[in-house]
Chains A and B, each alone.
Chain A
Amino acid sequence: MNSPDPIIHIHDLRKVYKTGKVAVEALRGVNLDVAKGEFLSIVGPSGSGKSTLFHIVGGLTPPTSGEVIVAGENVSTVGDAGRTELRRKCVSFVFQKFNLLPNLTARDNIRVALYISGKGDSGFTAEFTNILDLLGIAGRLDHKPNEMSGGEQQRVAIARALATAPAILLADEPTGNLDTANSLAVLALLRDLNTRLGQTILMITHNVEAAEYGDRIVHMRDGQIVETV
């Protein structure tokens, strides 16, 4: 898909990992544009390169070659500090394992993200409070992760990701650790957030049913995009 004003633009992206003397080509010339406000699902088997693509778009690792522009930032040319800045300002993550800080309450987990992004952690805006209501965790903010169910933890993780109003929300198998009911609830939430707030979402999943929640589904295999639906 060639969007006229893509928020993510990827051209001939390659990534090679070196394990000892062995070079593993994880991405082999990926081309992809994601429009602002789009909900894109990326599916593929293990080793297809979807996680590597996710990590590069999120600024967690640099590409080996190719062009990657995320929210106007050329990720392929910036260094570690530049990628940190990208994570701080433009993208947010939702992980399969929730990745909440275990020592902190849900509220403080969200506040940490706000503090790091430089947006101030003194209080939540009315808009964000509405999001908390939408996520159904407004009453669970003073609980620590070990006092919450998996579904609740993932909602807190989504709230933390949205708190900084990122240009792009990157979700890596967000339902991988949830039961069916919670999985459906989280997917419906992501769909709702995309529809109501116009939040750009890039979701990785191996679950084809989950991928159906996206506007578009990209299939990957052996480090390449093989099909776009």
Chain B
Amino acid sequence: MTSRLVWENIAHRPLRTLLSVLMIAVPVTLILTLIGLSTGFVDDSRRRQNGVGADILVKPNGASLIGFTNATMPLKMVTMLSGEPHVTQAMGEVVATIGGFDAIMGIDPPAFKRMSGGFDFVSGHDFQAPDDILIDTWWADQNHVRAGGTQSLLSHKWNVAGVVEEGKLGHIFAQMEPLQEIEGGQGKVSQIYLKVDDKANIKDVIEYLRKKYDGFPIVSMEELQSLISADKIPLLSTFLRVIEGIGVVIAFLVVSLSMYMAVLQRTREIGILKSLGATRGFIMTLMLAEAFWLGFGGTVVGVILSYGAAAAIHAAMPASLPVAIVYSWWPIAGGIAMGASLLGALYPAMIAIRLDPIEALAYE
């Protein structure tokens, strides 16, 4: 009977229910979209870094390990590093950002092939001319670009020579020298990847290089992978916590207001229930059960809307922000919404149970 009463209360005022559910869905969608963005970005970065096949990354003196870096390291460092003990290969790379989170990766094709095993071509062919670029399938799909087409990037017209499988280093690739010229950084690279003779030597090599190249951020690829996570990026993790907090507050206020309105609207009905002998616990249960289902509805709608938000981001910023659907966060976002809903219903429920039955019955 309790569930019947709760359901009838929810169904009897569909507009209020719909608005409450939608308002609760907003923070759920917000949380899931931001988590999806950070996770998608991090997963994409990890996968591409992993696809390089390197063991160690060296970045310019004073540069951050995370994020894009301008080409400031002399190319001769590639030769120097390749001659260090246990280092079997060094590969320089130029990173030229093209706006948003995208960049063109300038590579030395033979060196890249040796380190990563080379590209897997889906269509088109390898670099043949200085203005050739390769794009991966993800970027090609997002931007509706095919091999044989052209792209205007960095105020330069590029020929899309080929489309390759995604998962290696970046989404757009050019040859290093033409990109250095366009960027005005001839003879400079943004970062250098190293491969060592034996994985067991990675730690020793890093230790040796850090002493020799003091001030240069040098890190194993394994360590870099662990650094690329939402939790390890201070601003991002703080941002996520703030968004979660906002979500809790919104859900709390929405449900509190909604349930307060419900108490006002149902004052007479609460009076009737009291005249029938309904206990405080019974009325409290009704109110909290209604808040629970509003929270549940908000969670379900929020999850559905998060798919819409992901699609909207893809449509608005193709190839810039990979959004993942993070299933493991569904119960967390739901828990936040439902917890806040129950919390928000507590005060109105307290008002309801304290209503004077005579005044409640006289309420118009």
A interface residues, Cβ below 8 angstroms from B: 55, 58, 60-61, 81, 84-89, 92-93, 95, 99-104, 108, 111-113, 115-117, 121, 160
Find A87's partner among B1, B4, B9, B275 (CB 8 Å cutoff). Answer: B275
Q: Are A112 and B269 in contact (CB under 8 A)?
A: no
What are the residues of chain A within 8 A of B272 when measuring CB–CB? 99-101
What are the residues of chain B within 8 A of A104 when measuring CB–CB? 4-5, 8
What are the residues of chain B within 8 A of A93 when measuring CB–CB? 275
Q: Are A103 and B12 in contact (CB under 8 A)?
A: yes
| A99 to B273 alpha-carbon distance, docked (Å) | 10
| A88 to B277 alpha-carbon distance, docked (Å) | 4
Find A89's partner among B11, B274, B277, B357 (CB 8 Å cutoff). Answer: B277
Chain A facing B: main interface SS: helix
Find B277's partner among A101, A108, A111, A117 (CB 8 Å cutoff). Answer: A117
Instruction: Answer whether residue B284 sits at the interface, using C-beta atoms and an 8 A cutoff.
Output: no
With A99-B268, A102-B269 as known contacts, state yes or no: A116 contacts B277, CB within 8 Å. Answer: yes
B1-31 CB contact bits vs A (8 Å, 1 = yes)?
Answer: 1101100110110000000000000000000
Q: Are B361 and A116 in contact (CB under 8 A)?
A: no
Instruction: Answer whether residue B122 sits at the interface, using C-beta atoms and an 8 A cutoff.
Output: no
Closest to B277 in A: A88
Which residues of chain B from 243 to 279 have a CB within 8 Å of any chain A CB?
A: 268-269, 271-279
Find A84's partner among B11, B277, B358, B361 (CB 8 Å cutoff). Answer: B277
Q: Are A99 and B277 in contact (CB under 8 A)?
A: no
Q: Are B4 and A108 in contact (CB under 8 A)?
A: yes
What are the residues of chain B within 8 A of A61 when measuring CB–CB? 356-358
| A112 to B282 alpha-carbon distance, docked (Å) | 12
16 A-B pairs in the complex with CB atoms less than 8 angstroms apart: A61-B356, A81-B279, A87-B275, A87-B277, A93-B275, A95-B361, A102-B12, A102-B269, A103-B9, A103-B269, A104-B5, A108-B8, A112-B5, A113-B276, A116-B273, A160-B276
Find A60's partner among B5, B11, B280, B358 (CB 8 Å cutoff). Answer: B358
Q: Are B276 and A87 in contact (CB under 8 A)?
A: yes
| A99 to B267 alpha-carbon distance, docked (Å) | 12
With A84-B279, A87-B275, A89-B277 as known contacts, state yes or no: A99 contacts B361, CB within 8 Å. Answer: yes
B interface residues, Cβ below 8 angstroms from A: 1-2, 4-5, 8-9, 11-12, 268-269, 271-280, 282, 356-358, 361
Q: Are B8 and A60 in contact (CB under 8 A)?
A: no
What are the residues of chain B within 8 A of A89 when measuring CB–CB? 277
What are the residues of chain B within 8 A of A103 when measuring CB–CB? 5, 8-9, 11-12, 269
Q: Are A112 and B276 in contact (CB under 8 A)?
A: yes
What are the residues of chain A within 8 A of B5 when measuring CB–CB? 101, 103-104, 112
What are the 4 A-B residue pairs with the smallest beta carbon separation, nearest first? A88-B277, A87-B277, A115-B1, A103-B8
Closest to A170 in B: B275
What are the residues of chain A within 8 A of B4 when measuring CB–CB? 104, 108
Q: Are A60 and B12 in contact (CB under 8 A)?
A: no
| A123 to B206 alpha-carbon distance, docked (Å) | 79
Q: Are A84 and B274 in contact (CB under 8 A)?
A: yes
Closest to A120 in B: B1
What are the residues of chain A within 8 A of B274 when measuring CB–CB? 60, 84, 87
Closest to A104 in B: B8
Closest to B7 in A: A103
What are the residues of chain B within 8 A of A58 when measuring CB–CB? 275
What are the residues of chain A within 8 A of B282 when measuring CB–CB? 116
Question: B267 CB to closest chain A CB, in angstroms?
Answer: 12
Find B1's partner among A55, A85, A95, A111 (CB 8 Å cutoff). Answer: A111
What are the residues of chain A within 8 A of B269 when measuring CB–CB? 101-103
What are the residues of chain B within 8 A of A116 when measuring CB–CB? 273, 276-278, 282
| A112 to B279 alpha-carbon distance, docked (Å) | 13
| A85 to B282 alpha-carbon distance, docked (Å) | 13
Question: B38 CB to closest chain A CB, in angstroms?
Answer: 44
| A93 to B109 alpha-carbon distance, docked (Å) | 90
What are the residues of chain A within 8 A of B279 when measuring CB–CB? 81, 84, 88
| A60 to B276 alpha-carbon distance, docked (Å) | 10
| A117 to B1 alpha-carbon distance, docked (Å) | 12
What are the residues of chain B within 8 A of A160 when measuring CB–CB? 276
Closest to B357 in A: A60
| A93 to B272 alpha-carbon distance, docked (Å) | 10
Q: Are A121 and B1 in contact (CB under 8 A)?
A: yes
Closest to B4 in A: A108
What are the residues of chain A within 8 A of B268 when measuring CB–CB? 99
Question: A108 CB to closest chain B CB, in angstroms?
Answer: 7
Beyond the given pairs A101-B272, A116-B282, 10 more chain A to chain B contacts, judged by CB atoms under 8 angstroms and listed by A's residue number, are A60-B361, A61-B356, A87-B274, A87-B275, A88-B278, A101-B273, A115-B2, A116-B273, A117-B276, A121-B1
| A79 to B2 alpha-carbon distance, docked (Å) | 25
Question: B326 CB to closest chain A CB, in angstroms?
Answer: 39
